[in-house]
């Protein structure tokens, strides 16, 4: 089996159950035009997040890593009218492109974008939640710099409740995750993350390996149990 076939199968199912959407197509186009890296989740993965948010009944979602806003729009569409998605982005250019896309998608009332280092922003969010007596997040999507995944996950736990779900992307790395000597500079951070989550008594987790137009990778899906 090869990547070309995976992509063709993705197209087959996308045509069947995820018809073309001009807003989502626009986001991918503006991302490419702005020179952003081509690392957005796939259409099938976006639909997965959309369905998971709906199944979870998520009213508050936290996303770490915005890029052009593709995944944020998928998730925000699954939320009720009074739902709120907070998304964090380090790069100002990415944030500017994403904000334009949120306006295009008519979702600025649901999505709040914060720019800067997530490790600076997350403590601020925790403080605001305490001061304003805000509800915990029902769902967290982590898709940012891999060396900090362990820290992002720790913050996600602090900001969630029992029953919340945390989805962490890119945990398989084309299978390189099983190779301690991998040339992929992101593998050490992902291996440390996987090992840390595996022994955390506050969550129960499973990895969903994925193939498709984005190649071979996977999600870590964790549910907060304590």
pLDDT tens, position by position, 158-196: 999 999 999 999 999 999 999 999 999 999 999 999 999
Give pTM, 2 decimals. Answer: 0.96
CA–CA separation, 71 vs 165, rounded Å? 16
Average pLDDT for residues 193-207, to the nearest whole number?
98
CA–CA separation, 217 vs 210, rounded Å? 5
Give percent above pLDDT 70 in the chain. Answer: 99
Please enumerate in sequence order all residues whose Cβ is within 8 A of that of 43, keeping only pairs 6 or more positions apart, or say none.
10, 14, 18, 24, 213
CA–CA separation, 120 vs 193, rounded Å? 20
Q: Residue 79: exposed, middle, or buried by beta-carbon count in 10 A (0-12, 13-18, 19+)?
A: buried
80-124 tens-digit pLDDT = 999 999 999 999 999 999 999 999 999 999 999 999 999 999 999
User: What is the DSSP pairing of strand 160-169 with strand 60-64?
Assistant: unpaired
Is residue 1 scored above 80 in pLDDT?
Answer: no
CATH of 3-224, one of 3.30.420.40, 3.40.50.9100, 3.30.465.10, 3.40.50.150: 3.40.50.150
Structure tokens at 178: 């099983």
Average pLDDT for residues 54-73, to the nearest whole number?
98
């Amino acid at each position: 089996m090869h990547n070309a076939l995976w992509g063709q199968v993705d197209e087959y199912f996308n045509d069947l159950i995820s018809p073309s959407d001009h807003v989502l197509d626009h986001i991918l186009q503006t991302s490419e035009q702005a020179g952003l890296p081509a690392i957005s989740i796939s259409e099938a993965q976006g639909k997965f997040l959309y369905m998971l948010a709906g199944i979870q009944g998520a009213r508050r979602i936290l996303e770490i890593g915005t890029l052009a806003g593709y995944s944020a729009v998928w998730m925000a569409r699954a939320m009720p009218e009074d739902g709120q998605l907070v998304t964090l982005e380090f790069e100002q250019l990415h944030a500017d492109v994403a904000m334009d896309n949120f306006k295009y998608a008519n979702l600025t009332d649901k999505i709040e974008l914060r720019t800067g280092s997530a490790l600076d922003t997350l403590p601020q969010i925790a403080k605001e939640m305490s001061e304003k007596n805000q509800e915990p997040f029902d769902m967290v999507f982590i898709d940012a710099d891999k060396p900090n995944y362990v820290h992002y996950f720790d913050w996600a736990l602090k900001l969630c409740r029992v029953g919340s779900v945390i989805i962490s992307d890119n945990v398989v790395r084309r299978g390189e995750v099983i190779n301690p000597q991998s040339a992929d500079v992101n593998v050490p951070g992902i291996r440390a993350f996987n090992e840390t989550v595996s022994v955390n008594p506050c969550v129960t987790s499973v990895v969903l390996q994925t193939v498709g137009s984005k190649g071979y990778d996977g999600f870590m899906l964790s549910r907060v149990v304590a």
